[in-house]
């Protein structure tokens, strides 16, 4: 397979866009030697690397599947962090609702 037009694969998962980029040793290799998972960052036009993988893989589809899995695990971890932070904030708000007012 020729990789002269090596464009990233874009995958949307839970509202996040993941970009999968592959590095090849030779243009006609059956599998890449490395993969990177990228997401958009706050600066337009730039991306942040959230995962780097190094082969060998048996074929291109195995490399794609592993890169997708890494990207989805990263998104899941980000969503879990947001959920934990929101739960903590809610519990703090609820705790202050039950505190007796101090009168001085």
Q: Where are the domains of the chain?
A: 9-97
Give the least confident one: 11-15, 24-28, 87-91. 87-91
Write down the pLDDT at residue 95. Answer: 62
Summarised one tens digit per residue, pLDDT across range 37-62 is: 999 888 888 899 999 999 999 999 99
**CA 34 to mean position of chain CA atoms:** 16
On average, the pLDDT of the chain sits at 85
């Amino acid at each position: 397979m020729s990789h002269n037009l090596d464009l990233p694969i874009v995958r949307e998962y839970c509202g996040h866009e993941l970009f999968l980029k592959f590095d090849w040793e030779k243009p006609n290799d059956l599998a890449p030697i490395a993969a990177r998972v990228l997401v958009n960052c706050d600066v337009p036009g730039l991306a942040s690397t959230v995962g780097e993988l190094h082969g060998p893989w048996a074929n291109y589809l195995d490399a794609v599947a592993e890169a997708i899995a890494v990207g989805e695990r990263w998104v899941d971890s980000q969503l879990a962090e947001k959920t934990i932070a929101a739960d903590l904030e809610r519990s703090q708000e609820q705790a202050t609702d039950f505190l007796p007012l101090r009168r001085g």
